[in-house]
Structure 1
């Protein structure tokens, strides 16, 4: 584990979160009116969560957490970013949707939760999460340690194969990588994606955002992720691949589908752009 790189990512996410939320308008009003940021794929992997104690890993600024709480779950969200957690707490209060938010490095949080014997019915993580974590086995063991017997883990992530391409669909990165990838900082992917990631309608907000803090990403192949979960004692129930991305306009050009989904242009073959996992303890 390289917690110092996690700390660098915390600073980068603090800066980026301000830019991201500047594009999303009156989010509290959106949620008070019954709005949700969840896609059908997450709901399918999660199943019925009403009345469940649900841990949302790397919850960012809490929009998905509140969407989960609206479906009846008792939600605890954890994220490394001070700015994201502060925003999530304000949003919860203003939207009148109860949820608990805790700021911590995820690996530190797992250790503290084990010591305090905290457990959950469901653990959930989605979209651009594990690339910020320096050790996939620590992540998987942490999930297993806070799941109740019979508890379920639901996970959806951008496909590591898609991330071998640069923004113009040119192969740039190897699928198998050792060590962190140094980036110029967490970017403004909400501005890049426009309406497909705006909570209500897209607002101009911060323009030409440049992150003053570098970031460090880690690449985990599907085999590494599944193997880590199995080593941690979880049983795999489903592994699903999807030929589109939900919300994120990662490449140019992309073809817009219904429901804020994005796919490669018709001149390209189908590619796996996301994958989902359901597992239980």
Structure 2
């Protein structure tokens, strides 16, 4: 585990989170009027969450956490970014949707929650989470340990095959890469994705954002993810791939094919840009 790189990422996310939320307008009003940031894929995988204890790992600024809480779940959101958790806590209060938020490195949270005896019906995480994890096997074990017997893990992520391309769709990065990849810092991808990530309309917000803090990303293939979860004792009962990415315009000329699903330009072959899986912890 590379905690010094996690700390660098925390600083980078703190800076980026301010820029991201500057483009989202009055989010409290959005939620008070019944808004939700969940896509159809998450809603289908989550199913009926009424009364369920849900742990949302790497919850960012809490918008998806509150969307799940509105469905009747008791939600705990965890994120490494101080700015994200402060924003999520404030948004919960201002929107009137109850949820608990805790700032923590996910690995520290696994240790502390295990010591407190916490267990959840559902562990959930989505979109751009795995690339910040320096130890995939410890992550998988942590997820499994915090699930109740019969509890479910629900996961949606951008496909690692898409991560081999640069913004112009040229092959650039290794799919198999055991070395952390240094980046210029977490970008203002919310501004770049425009309406894709702001369902109620994008506000101008911060312009020309340049992150002063570098970041470090880790590459994990689909096989590594599945193997890690199975070795941690979870049983995978669903795995799906999608030829689009929800909300995120990561590459040039991406187009909305409906429902804020962003696909490659029509002159390029369809490739997997996103995947999901659902797993459960067998009864003892």
Question: Do both proteins adopt the same fold according to a TM-score greater than 0.5, normalized to the shorter chain?
Answer: yes
Match of 1:243 in 2: 243
Which SS does the other structure have where 1:78 is aligned? strand
CA distance in 2, matches of 1:236, 1:255: 32
Aligned equivalents of 2:29 and 2:10: distance in 1?
Answer: 28
- Which ranges in structure 2 are unaligned for 5 or more consecutive residues? none
Deviations 1:227-270 (A, max 9, x none): 00001000001010000010000000112111111101110111
Which residue in the other structure is 1:191 paired with?
191
Map residues 240-279 of structure 1 onto 2, 5 A cutoff: 240-279=240-279
Distance 1:270 1:132 in 2: 27
CA contact (8 A) 1:187 1:211 kept: yes
Q: Once the 2 structures are TM-superposed, how far is the Cα of residue 49 of structure 1 from its aligned partner? A: 0.8
Residue in structure 2 matched with residue 234 of structure 1 by the alignment: 234
Q: Deviations over 1:165-185 (max 9, x none)?
A: 000100100110011000000
Per the alignment, residue 156 of structure 2 pairs with 156
Describe the superposition over 1:8-44 as per-residue Cα deviations: whole angstroms up to 9, x where unpaired. Answer: 0000000000000000000000000000000000111
Given that 1:150 and 1:280 are in contact with CA atoms closer than 8 Å, whether structure 2 keeps it comes out as yes
TM-score, structure 2 as length reference: 0.98
The answer to whether the Cα contact below 8 Å between 1:30 and 1:199 also exists between their aligned partners in 2 is no
- Which aligned runs of 4 or more in structure 1 are off by greater than 6 angstroms? none
Instruction: Count residues in correspondence.
Output: 281
Shift of 1:113: 0.8
1:220 corresponding residue in structure 2:
220
On the 8 A contact 1:25/1:199 being kept in 2, the answer is: no
- Please show how residues 169-184 of structure 1 align to structure 2 within 5 Å: 169-184=169-184
**Structure 1 match to 2:122:** 122
**Distance in 1, Cα, partners of 2:199 & 2:6:** 27
Separation in 2, partners of 1:54, 1:199: 24
- 1:106-134 Cα offsets, whole Å, 9 max, x none, are 00110011111100000000000010010
Contact 1:183 1:216 in 2 (8 A): yes
SS at match of 2:236: strand
Normalized against structure 1, the TM-score is what?
Answer: 0.99
Which stretch has the larger CA shift, 44-53 or 94-103? 44-53
CA distance in 2, matches of 1:3, 1:257: 40
Shift of 1:51: 0.7
2:56 is the counterpart of 1:93: no
Moved more, 197-206 or 243-252: 197-206
Residue 44 of structure 2: aligned partner: 44
Map 1:100-119 → 2, pairs under 5 A: 100-119=100-119
Aligned counterpart, 2:141? 141
Written as runs of structure 1 = structure 2, the 5 A alignment for 1:16-35 is 16-35=16-35
Task: Please give the secondary structure, in 2, of the residue aligned with 1:37.
Answer: coil
CA positional deviation for 1:99: 0.2
Unaligned runs of 5+ in 1: none
